[in-house]
A and B are shown apart, each in its own frame.
Chain A
Amino acid sequence: MCRNLTKRFGGFVAVDGISFDVAKGEIFGFLGANGAGKTTAMRMLCGLSFPSSGEAEVAGYDVYKQQEKIKKHIGYMSQKFSLYENLSVSENIEFFGGVYGVNKKEINKRGQELIRALGLTQEANKMVGELPLGWKQKLAFSVAIFHQPKIVFLDEPTGGVDPVTRRQFWDMIYSAANAGITVFVTTHYMDEAEYCNRVSIMVDGKVVALDSPTNLKLAYNANSMDEVFYQLARGAKRNDN
């Protein structure tokens, strides 16, 4: 779904000819040091920025010609852009469900199920800003997949979240993948890299490794993904954001 994808900003090649395919229902870890080009690549795949060259398809749609279609069929969540803090839990669900074209009846029905599943019944009318970070992030993820997208992009979804909540969050990722949603995720927690079916590692705009965590550890003779990452990223020349 991604061939020689490249993005240049003037003379600076942020993303330098990356290629990979991600299968339906796969959990794909998209790793790289700060400034390796992850965010730029993700923005192209989400239909937010045009590539300079190369090809890519997301959920079956072309990143040049069908940006709007892509936006409808993906979910996106990041640590920074979350939900509206001064809307309540149910208002956020209603708003984002509406934006993604889920009809009113469905929003009501699925929204209530969701609130129950998250254990937020008592908090349904609370402002999202008042919830602890871990809950916010779990809610943000649920909202990102509320319209049942084909693929969901998660940009450092668990940054700063406690170890218990971090794991509950991954339970949700697993269950989404089980339901057939493709998960494209970045993280700085290397133990989380191990939860992915496959992992790609970007250094200086290029994908320098792509395989299952087990195979990567074998190939780099490492005990953990942390070591694999360190070996690869240590040689990075740039660390710009």
Chain B
Amino acid sequence: MEAVKLHHIFKSYDKGRVVAVNDVSFSVDEGELFGLIGPDGAGKTSVFRILTTLLLADQGTASVVGLDVIKDYKAIRNLVGYMPGKFSLYQDLTVLENLRFFATVFGTNIQQNYDLIKDIYEQIKPFNHRRAGKLSGGMKQKLALCCALIHKPKVLLLDEPTTGVDVVSRREFWDMLKALKQQGITILVSTPYMDEAILCDRIALIQQGKILSVDPPADIIKRYPTKLYAAKSADIYRLLKDYRQNEAIESSYAFGEYIHVTLRYPERDGLSTLQDLTTNLGHRDIIVKEIKPGIEDSFIRLMERIEFTGRVE
């Protein structure tokens, strides 16, 4: 059975002037760790709010664990754990009070499903009596996750849990998600960080309210349609400008210490073409190599295709 299903969902705001969700359909299998990947304003939060029954779609149907988001909204609210993008616990309740409060609201107590939160809760237990508003970003996030899990939900909906969080806390958080998945919980998680996408079973790339693709991360990378090269030289900013003006180059963008490049005529011997071209531009300390594309490369390519075909109004 599908844990989450969206069928041609539309949602607009401001009397239809802003289309937030534009014909979105995808489904998440039971026990899957599914990523909704896209930048700010792509429509991720609207999707979450529709699934948590907090927002009505204009058109289309959606269900969570087989229950309809409109007809069965009350049942759904007991079966999902939701962590909104904005920290939404009670800032002037302590860690323990927050946890107790959410347990009570869901008609349970902390002991009942302690197994599920144990590993996460024990990291913040030393701060049991600290007010939630006084916790650090990483600890707030852990507490919010505990509160979302306290009633042993079937589906966990996490809206940008790692935005603005540093690399170390982000890794810890993803380790926690993997552990939860092993306990059979379905997880739908959104993120603007492309490197986190690779950790999901499947991902949907979303941009301007439209789904660009739904696939396992490895497949998205495999489908990258052309050869990708990385290049650098002593003056990387000039190199980027030079590449942009060169008609043999289809696309070029900075990527870490390198520039990622695709060629307009990829069937030729690309590597030596690029090597010669860079030398002829008068650059020094040139390194050019063929590389495997990552999720971010795929995303950029998909995004640019959208821009060529016109903005989604």
Contacts and interface: CB of A to CB of B under 8 A. Distances in A.
A230 B171 contact: yes
Interface in A103-139: 132-134
Contact of A162 (B160, B163, B303): B303
Interface string A183-211: 00000111100110000000000000000
Given A35-B136, A191-B256, A213-B257, A178 B166 contact: no
B300 A164 contact: yes
Interface in B137-178: 137-139, 160, 163-169, 171
Nearest to B295: A163
A35 to B, nearest CB: 5
Q: Give the size range of B's interface with the partner.
A: 35 or more
Interface residues of A, number: 41
Contact of B167 (A134, A160, A226): A226
A174 interface: yes
B237 interface: yes
A230 B168 contact: yes
27 contacts: A32-B166, A34-B164, A35-B137, A79-B164, A134-B39, A160-B39, A160-B40, A160-B160, A161-B40, A162-B303, A163-B39, A163-B299, A164-B304, A164-B307, A167-B254, A188-B166, A190-B167, A195-B256, A225-B256, A229-B167, A230-B167, A233-B166, A234-B168, A236-B168, A239-B139, A239-B166, A239-B169
Interface of B: 38-42, 136-139, 160, 163-169, 171, 192-195, 207, 237, 240, 253-257, 296, 299-300, 303-304, 307
**What 6 A-B pairs have minimum CB-CB distances, sorted nearest first?**
A162-B39, A160-B40, A194-B256, A33-B166, A240-B136, A133-B40
Given A224-B256, A239-B139, 17 more contacts: A33-B167, A33-B168, A33-B169, A34-B138, A156-B164, A160-B39, A163-B39, A164-B253, A164-B303, A171-B240, A190-B167, A226-B195, A229-B168, A230-B167, A236-B168, A239-B136, A239-B169
Interface of A: 32-35, 79, 132-134, 156, 159-165, 167, 170-171, 174, 178, 188-191, 194-195, 213-214, 224-226, 229-230, 233-234, 236, 238-241
